[in-house]
Amino acid sequence: MTVKDVIAPSADDLRQDILRHLTFTMGKDADHASVYDWRMALSFAIRDRIVEPWFAATKQTWEQGRKRVYYLSMEFLIGRILEDAAINLGLRAAAREAIEGMGQSWSAVVEDEPDAALGNGGLGRLAACYMESMATLGCPGYGYGIRYEHGLFKQRFEGGRQVEAPEDWLKQRHPWEFERPEAAYEIGFKGAVEMRAGKAVWIPSETVLAEAFDMPVIGWKGRWANTLRLWSAKPTTMFDLARFNHGDYAAAAEPEALARTLSRVLYPDDTTYQGKELRLKQEYFLTAAALHDIIRRHLAGGYRLEDLPAHVAIQMNDTHPAIAGPELVRILVDLYGMSFEQAIEIAVKCLGYTNHTLLPEALERWACYLMGSVLPRHMQIIEQIDAWHLKTNPNRPHYVGVVKHQEVRMGELAFITAHKVNGVSALHTKLIKQNLFPELDTLHPGRIVNQTNGITPRRWLRMSNPALSRLITETIGEGWEADLDKLRALEPHVEDPGFRDDFADAKRRNKDALANWIAREQGIKIDPAAMFDVQIKRIHEYKRQLLNILQTIAQWHEIRENPQADYQPRVKIFGGKAAPGYQTAKEIIRLINDVATVVNADPLVGDRLRIVYPANYNVSMAERLIPAADLSEQISTAGKEASGTGNMKFALNGALTIGTLDGANVEIREEVGAENFFLFGLTASEVMERRKDPEHARHAILQSQALQDVLQMIAEGRFSPDEPTRYHGLVHNMWHSDYFLCASDFEAYRAAQVEVDRAFADPERWWRMAALNTARMGFFSSDRAIQGYMTEIWGTESAL
């Protein structure tokens, strides 16, 4: 049996399937079904059509003895699944017709699905895009993650302040997962290591069961499907009936509660590392369950463990699963009697490590006492790996190594146990070599490689932007969804005024829809003809939402001072969550909301400047905002954003970027052309230079009257009249520290915004630039990225 293109069903076929599931799966008749019932029935009807290609792909992989890729990630920021699956199966139109034919609203049904928010931001979303591209390319593989009961918290604003509420995506039945009670492994923690007949034996004192839940991941046109296997923690010791019968109800349920905490919540922080025991246990839980599963599958194929690297490629998404090296060595040595030397050699051949950050506060380091207590055998193996590395690399400087200052450094561990280490943009990879691992790079030339991030064009263009997708297909024909370089064929059309009008119309339709949504949700009326200037991403000082709001205040001030001048009306749109413990980020959120309150109520400004900040930014909101954006804010301090993927989504959807030379911005600008990108700000090396001046902030502020005025207004309480001192700390920090150089880049940013205004005032120029952005973004497809991983890191080929 080989895989084939699925045959799209008719709306009538689907209608039958939906009604069947409504009746027999949901137990409802059409007259009494709720939106939820319809959504479930539709999901099951679509899911049914994934199963066949899913089985076929699995079968083919077994029969052909293909190498599989295992993508280990603590986060998968999936979002909604229904519409994406329908599109990849080629049946969105039919499904819509069927649903509407039965009197239901398509958008209501689709939007009833909660986001699967098993991630914080870019890193988790990347994992989700990569799963989809692996399925599209026919790269046999599995994603391994944790089935968190509660994904990323929900954000509300109260008096402008972020308030977190727990997320509950599993409260309703989840139609896209299959429970696999038979795929369960016992995972140990703590205890002691004993020597028995010269062999180490780890006797854990705690155990939990990792139980698998599988989600099929269907590729474009349904030609291939892989599995995302998420682990859920269950108790190994059953409910204590004796205690229950004695009336001790709480104690009876204790083992269950204890085990379940392991997969209970996602850690809601994306940029700082906290040395918490529960987090270490979660990381080991995921990694150990995955490795057990991988070894079991390998042996079931009849292969020898010595041949593992020929059949298995394991990718570590950041250092979170970096215990994989020691765990694989432990399995091979302790459980299968292999020598350490042979085991570590096999591990290195199987493993790859993706580095996602240079921020020192995000680099994982575990205190040796904690590692030794939670994973005593692994601590021994880590020391053995470190010693082996030193022995095989006698030139290693004394300050380099895995275990230093009573800490295990996970970055070094991942580097040493992987055959390839990759950065996520050209600039980031260069900085890994220069600043993060220069000594290890010298010892292992060629191990560090680049794989610039990508995004899946199915979700981020075809699904979320039907208006533009239709125009593209009408203009250049089909096929661009799976071969994004084809968008280059749009280039000649950019000179055609008719095409530019159509391009602008598509954008306008998306802006109208967004304006309606904002009016409905926020009660704020915005003009769809205004420029939509969007910054959506996690709130972090390095991403510099502060720089944006400071410039916004300056703009407001300027309009008030000079109301007769000719301004391009703008809507500043912000979106993003702050880590619950990140006080500075929360202060920035509050400032944005405070400024919005004042500016939006100012009759002098009117439609010329509006600020909106819809709460609870997530994948679904990104799908709504990005197609409607005119301007994409990618303004991180140079050297701090490893790649970014939001930047790619915007440019692909015809938004122009205002940005620094950071992360993948550098490559985006090269691809779309410098003349179609609003560049400003210090470069990464200039940033390092600038920081050497301890008074850089004060000097920069004194150079800018506009910034002085802005800081003065904030300090006087113009945006916090009920509490004038609210932002004194923030203003003080601007004058005296400003580590992320908002002041140093302020005037350059303001000048670039003037350039943006000038371009927007000239529609012919603007739409030419915007269309060229779309036409030239092919490189940033996650298909290109995954193809790069396959050939340069995993050594696998497409099965299609």
Q: Do 26 and 172 form a contact (C-beta atoms < 8 A)?
A: no
Active-site residue identified among 47, 80, 356, 377? 356
The residue nearest ligand PLP at its CB is 646
Active-site residue identified among 330, 389, 649, 750? 649
d(CA 791, CA 797): 7
Q: Is 572 a catalytic residue?
A: no
Q: How near is the Cβ of 83 to ligand PLP at its closest, in Å?
A: 15
Of 500 and 649, the one with the shorter C-beta distance to ligand PLP is 649
Q: How near is the Cβ of 226 to ligand PLP at its closest, in Å?
A: 21
Q: Is 80 a catalytic residue?
A: no
Tokens representing residue 195 in the block: 């020597």
Q: How far is CA 520 from CA 108, 516, 600, 618, in A?
A: 15, 6, 16, 18
Of 127 and 701, the one with the shorter C-beta distance to ligand PLP is 127
Per DSSP bridges, beta strands 76-79 and 116-118 are antiparallel
Q: Which residues contact 753 (CB under 8 A, 6 or more apart)?
A: 551, 555, 658
Q: How far is CA 771 from CA 90, 132, 504, 774, in A?
A: 26, 26, 9, 5
Of 143 and 204, the one with the shorter C-beta distance to ligand PLP is 143
Of 162 and 232, the one with the shorter C-beta distance to ligand PLP is 162
DSSP 424: S
Q: Which of residues 510-549 bind ligand PLP (CB under 6 A)?
A: 537
Tokens representing residue 149 in the block: 């009961």
- CA-based nearest residue to 632, from 555, 532, 775, 541: 532
Q: How far is CA 90 from CA 8, 41, 479, in A?
A: 6, 18, 13
Among 9, 114, 122, 376, binds ligand PLP (CB under 6 A): 122
Q: How near is the Cβ of 644 to ligand PLP at its closest, in Å?
A: 4
Q: How near is the Cβ of 613 to ligand PLP at its closest, in Å?
A: 15
Active-site residue identified among 389, 538, 640, 776? 538
Distance of CA 186 to the CA centre of its chain: 29
Q: How near is the Cβ of 85 to ligand PLP at its closest, in Å?
A: 18
Among 9, 53, 121, 160, binds ligand PLP (CB under 6 A): 121
Q: Which residues contact 402 (CB under 8 A, 6 or more apart)?
A: 382, 385, 386, 389, 408, 409, 412, 413, 416
Alpha helices in 562-693 (DSSP H): 583-600, 619-625, 646-652, 665-672, 684-691
Q: Is 486 a catalytic residue?
A: no
Q: How near is the Cβ of 96 to ligand PLP at its closest, in Å?
A: 24
Q: Which of residues 606-625 bind ligand PLP (CB under 6 A)?
A: 618-619, 622
Q: Is 538 a catalytic residue?
A: yes
Of 125 and 389, the one with the shorter C-beta distance to ligand PLP is 125
Q: Is 584 a catalytic residue?
A: no
Give the range of 3-11, 120-128, 473-481, 731-739 binding ligand PLP by CB under 6 A. Answer: 120-128
- How many residues sit in the footprint of ligand PLP (CB under 6 A)? 11
Q: What is the radius of gyration, based on Cα positions, of the chain?
A: 27
Q: How near is the Cβ of 619 to ligand PLP at its closest, in Å?
A: 5
Q: How near is the Cβ of 649 to ligand PLP at its closest, in Å?
A: 6
Of 80 and 377, the one with the shorter C-beta distance to ligand PLP is 80
Give the range of 119-127, 399-407, 474-482, 733-741 binding ligand PLP by CB under 6 A. Answer: 119-127
Q: Does residue 326 bind ligand PLP (CB under 6 A)? A: no
d(CA 484, CA 428): 24
For residue 332, with 0-12 CB atoms within 10 Å meaning exposed, 13-18 middle and 19 or more buried, which class applies?
A: buried
Active-site residue identified among 287, 452, 645, 660? 645
Q: Is 320 a catalytic residue?
A: no
d(CA 606, CA 602): 7
Q: Does residue 125 bind ligand PLP (CB under 6 A)? A: yes
Q: Which of residues 629-658 bind ligand PLP (CB under 6 A)?
A: 644-646, 649
- What is the separation, in whole angstroms, between the first and last Cα of the chain? 13
d(CA 535, CA 634): 7
Provide the annotated active-site residues: 356, 537-538, 543, 645, 649
| Residues contributing to the site for ligand PLP (CB under 6 A) | 121-122, 125, 537, 618-619, 622, 644-646, 649
